[in-house]
Amino acid sequence: MKAIKNMKLITENGVVENQGVIFDQRIQEIVAENQIGPGMEVIDVGGAYLSAGFIDIHIHGCAGYDVMDDDDHAIRNIARHLVTKGVTAFLPTTMTMEFSRIKRALERIRKNMTDSAQYAQVLGCNLEGPFLSRKYKGAQDEKYIRQPDFELISPYLDVIRLLTIAPEEEGSIDFIKQAVQSGIVVSIGHTNATFNETTKGIEAGASHVTHLFNGMTPLHHRNPGVVGAALWHDVTCELIADNIHVDPAVQTILLKVKGEEKIILITDAMRACLLADGEYDLGGQKVYVKDHQAKLSNGSLAGSTLVLNEAIRNFMTNTGMKIEDAVKMTTLNPAKLLGIEKQKGSVTPGKDADLVVFDQNLNIMMTIIGGEKVFTMA
């Protein structure tokens, strides 16, 4: 048995001090520090913050690796690097390519879901494409975009946890219903839908919006579009808080409208994340990274180089939000979206001992997965 003490503990109800967290593979108890028993391995974190591990539900790659790489080690290497940024679980996210490439990626993700290595846990797949709009394709390759076909994904219902769809495309509504009935969280994104078309998708079961404001019809006072529908309806919204994809003022407006429980911070990171400026690729297309901005040759944004602890820090700075509330957007909120809040998302007895220690500036000091240290800041 192990214990952590001398911390600011972020719980579902705020920050508490003078407490000890006792754990093995799962969190066993939260007790007063003076009740930590003898014989335990005690970790003194020197007054730093302790929270549940971060969950990134939308990430394509980092450190030179991409989910779509035909490389059996790529996803594990992504997972290995993510723990240095406090991420303890994630959804490897695909791109719109030949469906044979997507199938191979799904098979690799499936294999990594059962990997017991002490890296960030692969929770399943975020299928971004190919059932998208050509008009709002973003960095998705237009020639591989296709109309929804549930038969294509039916062999992978054990792998796909989240998928993006354009609800205005022919067959989308029936597809959404089938996907939701199969336990998949359906997200609206890369879409040219109107407010009403988006509403029909939500009424069919879509409950999430992919990287809000990016890759969708904007809010206009005579045409509220997807953004208007996302703000109006009771859906969760992803946000890339790198201050490139969405202006800080708009981030603050979003918080005021949606509230902290309906926002999930993501990275949408691609392989250049954690690396220097230069030429990379995403979904088979060249990407040019300069000053932390990843763009195609036509100027379209192509993912990000963001890491999740920086996303929290940026959002706090932009909105004035308390650290414990911002952290929820990478812990409890994504856990609830995926239906795993009984296992992950907060420091609560009975949940997995996936924990992260960080200072007031969100610099990661230690990451623990399943009760084992997997990263300690040098």
Query: Within this chain, do residues 45 and 154 fall inside the same structural domain, yes or no?
Result: no
Query: Within this chain, do residues 211 and 333 fall inside the same structural domain, yes or no?
Result: yes
pLDDT > 70: percent of the chain: 99
Residues forming beta bridges with residue 185, ordered by sequence position: 162
Query: Within this chain, do residues 15 and 143 fall inside the same structural domain, yes or no?
Result: no
Q: Cβ-count burial of 167 within 10 angstroms (0-12 exposed, 13-18 middle, 19+ buried)?
A: buried
Q: Residue 117 pLDDT more than 80?
A: no
Q: Are 29 and 349 in contact (CB under 8 A)?
A: yes
Q: Are 212 and 245 in contact (CB under 8 A)?
A: no
d(CA 148, CA 177): 12
- How many domains is the chain built from? 2
User: Taking the model in full, what pTM does it have?
Assistant: 0.97
Q: Residue 244 pLDDT more than 70?
A: yes
Query: Within this chain, do residues 26 and 91 fall inside the same structural domain, yes or no?
Result: no
How much is the average pLDDT of 121-126? 98
How much is the average pLDDT of 166-184? 98
* pLDDT confidence of residue 37: 83
* pLDDT confidence of residue 118: 79
How much is the average pLDDT of 238-252? 98
Q: Cβ-count burial of 85 within 10 angstroms (0-12 exposed, 13-18 middle, 19+ buried)?
A: buried
**355, 107, 164, 316 alpha-carbon torsion, rounded to 10°:** 20
* pLDDT confidence of residue 114: 86
Query: Within this chain, do residues 21 and 73 fall inside the same structural domain, yes or no?
Result: no
CATH number, domain containing residue 271: 3.20.20.140
Nearest CA to 197 out of 220, 234, 169, 177 is that of: 169
* pLDDT confidence of residue 160: 98
How much is the average pLDDT of 139-153? 96
- Is 343 part of any domain? no
Query: Within this chain, do residues 76 and 195 fall inside the same structural domain, yes or no?
Result: yes
Catalytic annotation, pick one of 56, 66, 69, 268: 268
**What tokens appear for 179 in the block?**
């996907």
What is the domain range of residue 63?
A: 54-338
User: What amino acid occupies position 214?
Assistant: N
Query: Within this chain, do residues 35 and 174 fall inside the same structural domain, yes or no?
Result: no
d(CA 120, CA 246): 27
* pLDDT confidence of residue 115: 76
How many CA within 13 A on the CB side of residue 330? 37
The per-residue b/e assignment along 15-51, b for 16 or more CB within 10 angstroms, e otherwise, is beeebbbbbeeebbebeebeebeeeeebbebeebbbb
CATH number, domain containing residue 355: 2.30.40.10
How much is the average pLDDT of 76-90? 97
Q: Residue 102 pLDDT more than 70?
A: yes
Query: Within this chain, do residues 304 and 216 fall inside the same structural domain, yes or no?
Result: yes
How much is the average pLDDT of 12-26? 95
Lowest mean pLDDT among 43-47, 299-303, 327-331: 299-303
Residues forming beta bridges with residue 52, ordered by sequence position: 355
* pLDDT confidence of residue 378: 78
268 is catalytic: yes
Query: Within this chain, do residues 146 and 209 fall inside the same structural domain, yes or no?
Result: yes
* pLDDT confidence of residue 116: 67
* pLDDT confidence of residue 282: 92
